Every structure is written in C-alpha cells, then in structure tokens.
Amino acid sequence: MDWKQTNVLITGASGIVGSWLVRELIKKQANIICFIRDWNPQTQLIASGDVMRTAVVNGKLENYSDIDRAINEYQIDTIFHLGAHTIVGSALRNPLACFESNIRGTYNLLEAARRYDSFVKRVIIASSDKAYGSSDILPYTEDMPLQGRHPYDVSKSCTDLLAIAYAHTYNLPITIARCGNIYGGGDLNWSRIVPDTICKLYHKQNPVLRSDGSYIRDYIYVMDVVDAYILLAEKANQPEIRGQAFNFSTESKITVLEITNKIIELMNCKELKPAILDEAKGEIKNQYLDSSKAKKLLGWQPKYSLEQGLKETICWYIEFFERHEK
C-alpha cells in the first residue's frame, strides 16, 4: 500500500497511540485528518508540532454529524478509530460517559463509514483485551467469547460486536486490534501504572498500587502497537484479514507489582517502595493475550522487550518533566 497522499482519519489522535501513529504516517506522506475533542498543548501530538502537518477536526464521537462531516468532506480512504473513553476507574464512576463515547461513538463512526463506502477503503478498530472480560482460561485467543461485565469492559465488548456486525452485514473493510496495556511516552493519563510510577519516582515519592499488586497484565510498547495498526491497514482487504480480529501481545505476562519494581530498578530508585492500597474495584484480576494469529496471518512481531520499551518511556517522561517544571 502506498500511503502517499492517502486521506487518513485518526480519531483520538492526541492520545498515546494516536500521537505516535500520526508521526509515523507523516513519514509516509499521508494526508492526516486528526479528529480530537479537546486541545491539550501538553499532548505529544501538539507539543511536538506534528499537529501542524495535519488537518484538525474538533468534534465528539457522540455527535454523529461531527464524524459524518469529517469523513465526507475529507473523502477519507483509511480510518483508524482510536478515540474512546479509556480509563477503567473513570468508567466505573461514570458509566454513561463511557458508554456514550465507546458504544455510541463507535456505531456513529461505523454508520458514517457505511454511508460513504464508495471511498472508505479500510477501517481499523482499536480494541482491548478488556473486550474478553474475565476468563478462567488464559491466554485469550480471538475465538473466545466477548463477555465484559464491568462498564469499561462491556463498552469494549460492544465496540467489537458492532464492528463485527458492520463487517459481516455490510461488507465494510473492518479489522479489529485487541491489545493489552499499552505504555510509552505521551500517555498523560496519570492513573495508569506506568506513567504514574515514573512520575512518582521522578519526584522522589513512593509509587502507589490501587490493587494488591498480584494482578497479572500484558504490557505492550506503543511503537509495537503503531506498527501493528499500520500493518493491519495495509493488509485489511486481504480475504483472510478482512472482518477479522487480532490480538497483539509480547506474550510476557507480569504482575503489577513486578512491573512497578522493574521501573524502580531502571530509574535507580531502590530506596522508594511501592505503597499497596489493595482497593481496586471493577477490574479483572488476570489478563493476557495469545498473538499467534497475528504472527501467522500478518507476519507481525513485537520489536521491543519490556525493558527496552520502559527505558525509552522513562527517557520521554524525564524530558517531559524537565521541560514543564523549569
């Protein structure tokens, strides 16, 4: 696929994945249209200046007319649907906002893509391991049922089912990417374990764990995710890829306490100890993915080990704090 001059719409373009995806597609000379709700100058997209090489549509996924206008007026060829309410705790406190953004937002986008299927050639849906819900059988594989039980998890299960419905009923060129916990520079959601731990350690504070530390997770570096999304887009119209969901994982599960201690080690802050609150609610105990399908059908492989990814992430945040705290 030649990305040069391809009209690409990225919802949630100022988020952690969106920001780095924009940068990679700029290198490929795509015409990028960023669909964002809020203008936050601290985000990687804006602070880096990358936004100045894109078109920006300010809007809300919950408003059909906003996303319809973006797709129609810019005659979008490729859609990366990353925009979503992504914080589990926030979704637990306000499920309506989560459902509006993630469920209504997704069917609004899919309906607009269906309406303009004369020029929309591929739609990549960013999903999550949370779509599977809790399971006694792990790792998750793509043929397992989608059975979220808590608000955020349900919203991701619905997102996937909506995408599958539009792919199979209307033959839309949709593929779904399910990732574990994505980390990397540019994540300004400080409730997440990686940025919050780095922030606390940088400021010589003890990191805080909401859970008891034993929850098992799947962590994947943001640049591996960007590579996966681009690869999915390039192969989206192949018969064995179109309408399919794919797991993307490094397949190296780790507990929340272990990754916290790893960051402590890499930042040389061994005098600081995690404070374990053990008060997490509405979160799945153990989650990790099998990505053999992506490796077999897409030829995808992660390039970053956990240590490599964390080192790059730590460097990004140190530069961020030094720049903003002068």
For β-strands 216-217 and 254-255, DSSP reports them as antiparallel
CATH code of the domain made up of 184-216+253-286+304-324 = 3.90.25.10
CATH code of the domain made up of 7-182+219-248 = 3.40.50.720
pLDDT grade for 152, boundaries at 50, 70 and 90: very high
Token pair listed for 169: 């009923």
3-state secondary structure of 93: helix
Q: Give the catalytic positions in this structure.
A: 152
Within 8 A by CB and 6+ apart from 32, the residues are 8, 10, 13, 22, 25, 26, 53, 54, 55
Kindly report the pTM of this predicted structure: 0.96
pLDDT grade for 146, boundaries at 50, 70 and 90: very high
Q: What is the pLDDT of residues 61-73, one digit of tens each?
A: 999 999 999 999 9
CB burial of 129-152 (b: ≥16 within 10 Å; e: otherwise) equals bbbbbbeeebbbebebebebebbb
As a whole number, mean pLDDT of residues 29-39 equals: 96
Token pair listed for 51: 């936004």
Domain boundaries, the chain: 7-182+219-248, 184-216+253-286+304-324
Q: What is the pLDDT of residues 236-257, one digit of tens each?
A: 999 999 999 999 999 999 999 9
Instruction: Give the sign of the dihedral formed by CA 246, CA 250, CA 253, CA 258.
Output: negative
User: How far is Cα 160 from Cα 102, in angstroms, rounded to an integer?
Assistant: 10
pLDDT grade for 280, boundaries at 50, 70 and 90: confident
Least confident of 34-48, 167-181, 274-288, 293-307: 274-288
